[in-house]
A and B are shown apart, each in its own frame.
Chain A
Amino acid sequence: MGKDEKMKTKEVMVLEDLLGSNKKIAAEIRQKLTDTGILTINLLSSPGAGKTTLLESLSEILAPEYKMAVIEGDIETERDADRIRAKGIPAWQIITGGACHLEAKMIGKLLPEIPADLDFLFIENVGNLVCPASFDLGENIRCVLLSTPEGDDKPKKYPKAFTTSDCLVISKTDLVSVLPFNIERAKKEALEINPALITFTTSAQTGAGIKELAEYFSESLQKIRRTNA
């Protein structure tokens, strides 16, 4: 009792960002990769929206001309990295063992293994339209995928993923004739919450839109290299 009476309570102002350490590591990664002339792209979407398939299709256009590599984030298995490696593209698999998102420190650990002569580093985040949106990984471009079977109402239901992205890819557009998905409505909703979004419509099955997306990445690469020069 006597001891407790001596205790003083004190209020301490802190005002510190809970994501501060992640932001700091991400900024260091971005600086290092950008200085090396590598464009880093963080791919976000729900599970099954077609991130790995999009990367397979992109590799067919980009790989003959550029050097690309992929970091795969999944809760379990090396399956996605194996699919990318089967295309002759170097891939690293991060198995999060339950965690629903990648964090900058996970990418930081892999950094020494990333070859300096790369052009593009793609990071395929854990399939989840919520949690990955809060974590900067040091990317230059954040790209969110929305596949037509998911429905065109997703941007406003999951705003953070769309407000923090630079580009939106509406995928699986070959299915649109059999689905109640309105591409224009999805674009309009997404642009209302983020007017700066650059939008693409793709189908990995027919190849539609993949070339345009690859061109956007190539132009973005030239931009960071011009800034470096």
Chain B
Amino acid sequence: MHELSLIANLFEIMEEKAAEKNAKKITHVVLQVGKLSGVVPDLLITAFDIYKKDTMASEGELTIKEVPLKILCRDCKTEVVKDDFVFICTKCGSTNLKTLSGTELYLEKMELEID
């Protein structure tokens, strides 16, 4: 359950950005979570709801955008979305691959209430 520690980091970033904009409240938060980020989206939501009490986001909602694991084969230049974690090109069998997306753990955007 490292999700709680990630949510603590999220609140640090959120509060810093919200203060820069002189916001009063954080009403909505969108995270990008890659398939290979090593976190469980449902647990992030649970951790968010525990953590938000007595913060600027006490009434805020969290939306999670799941990002697929996408790889590029450097040999045959095919782009593949992987449902498993097998790092072998499905077209030519090469293991010379580059991960294009799927490891993200980003705060994408927030909705703020400003005076």
Contacts and interface: CB of A to CB of B under 8 A. Distances in A.
A159 B36 contact: yes
A100 B38 CA distance: 14
Interface in B53-69: none
A159 B85 contact: yes
A9 B87 contact: no
Given A130-B38, A133-B38, A195 B106 contact: no
Contacts of A195: 87-88, 95
Q: How large is the interface on A (under 10, 10 to 19, 20 to 34, 35 or more residues)?
A: 20 to 34
A133 B37 CA distance: 9
Q: How large is the interface on B (under 10, 10 to 19, 20 to 34, 35 or more residues)?
A: 35 or more
Contacts of A135: 2
Contacts of A1: none
Given A8-B114, A130-B38, A195-B95, A15 B87 contact: no
A192 B17 contact: no
B2 A10 contact: no
A140 to B, nearest CB: 20
B108 A13 contact: yes
B103 to A, nearest CB: 9
A9 B113 contact: yes
Contacts of B36: 159-160, 163
Contacts of B24: 7
Given A12-B109, A15-B107, A193 B86 contact: yes
Contacts of A178: none
A9 B2 contact: no
A222 interface: no
B31 to A, nearest CB: 8
A211 B106 CA distance: 42
Contact of A19 (B88, B95, B105, B111): B105
Given A15-B107, A135-B2, A7 B87 contact: no
Given A18-B107, A99-B5, A194-B87, 15 more contacts: A11-B109, A12-B109, A12-B111, A14-B110, A16-B13, A17-B106, A21-B9, A100-B1, A100-B2, A130-B38, A131-B38, A135-B2, A192-B88, A195-B87, A195-B95
Interface of A: 6-22, 99-101, 103, 130-131, 133-135, 156, 159-160, 163, 192-195
Interface of B: 1-2, 5-6, 9-10, 12-13, 17, 21, 23-24, 27, 31, 36-39, 84-88, 95, 105-115
